[in-house]
Amino acid sequence: MSFYETLLKQTDDARSGLLTAPIIQGCLRGEVSLPSYVAFLREAYHHVRHTVPLLRACKAALPERHAWLRGPLDEYIEEEQGHDGWILDDIRACGGDADAVREGMPGHAAEVMVAYAYDMIARRNPLGFFGMVHVLEGTSVSLALLAADQIQQSLALPDGAFSYLRSHGTLDQEHTAHFAMLMNVIEDPRDQADIVHAARAFFRLYGDVFRDLPLPQATREASSRSGMGVAS
């Protein structure tokens, strides 16, 4: 079994725990609201804006035996540039205050997740950051495109409100294959264990971000009118 397959197997229960977050399950049923979606975008902005700094921190902290990862990290850095700007554009397309989001603070769960990522790189093992990559990109592939379709259909928002979800969902399909290739080159048992440990932690931390989002407040009247159980 390759290390990537091992990573999937040893984190499967943690991934399932993330997917049980009520707001994710509700979204998949079409139970969405504009405040919930904008809240998701707000928290996404506050962790995505750290993606490039975290990639640079990881690269800088790599021991010489992992110098081969510097090139792939440079590629990630180039590809991730500007994604936080996509999210601000989506917020504007939803009628939200993107400037307030940019100048504001993240929720507690997002702040803790980002702090743990920096701590993992500085204190434990820079390769542990790949646990975060596995969680965020793997979740994007499985959920982003489906969630975008459900939200847009329910709320009748313009295409310009989904640049982050749709672009990330498509890009991360390519990233996941590249990520699997990189993971299968990592042979040191300590590095492998740290990546698995970090991925399990990030599944829990990212799940907390979703669990902290405001749930759509469905009403029976709205449900009976739509026949779809869509939240208002």
CATH of the domain at 69: 1.20.910.10
Does 231 fall in a domain?
no
Tokens of 214: 């405001």
pTM, rounded to two decimals: 0.90
Tens-place pLDDT, residues 179-211 = 999 999 999 999 999 999 999 999 999 999 999
Does 21 fall in a domain?
no
Number of domains observed in the structure of the chain = 1
Contact yes or no for 114/52 (Cβ under 8 A): no
- Domain residue limits at 151: 3-9+34-213
Contact yes or no for 208/112 (Cβ under 8 A): yes
Does 38 fall in a domain?
yes
Does 105 fall in a domain?
yes
Does 92 fall in a domain?
yes
Tens-place pLDDT, residues 77-116 = 999 999 999 999 999 999 999 999 999 999 999 999 999 9
Distance CA 108, CA 20 (A): 20
Does 220 fall in a domain?
no
Average pLDDT value for the chain: 90
Does 16 fall in a domain?
no
Tokens of 65: 């035996």
Distance CA 167, CA 124 (A): 32
Distance CA 214, CA 218 (A): 12
Angle at 80 between CA 76 and CA 84, to 5 degrees: 160
| Residue 172 confidence class, pLDDT cut points 50, 70, 90 | low
| Residue 22 confidence class, pLDDT cut points 50, 70, 90 | very high
Is residue 224 pLDDT above 60, yes or no?
A: no
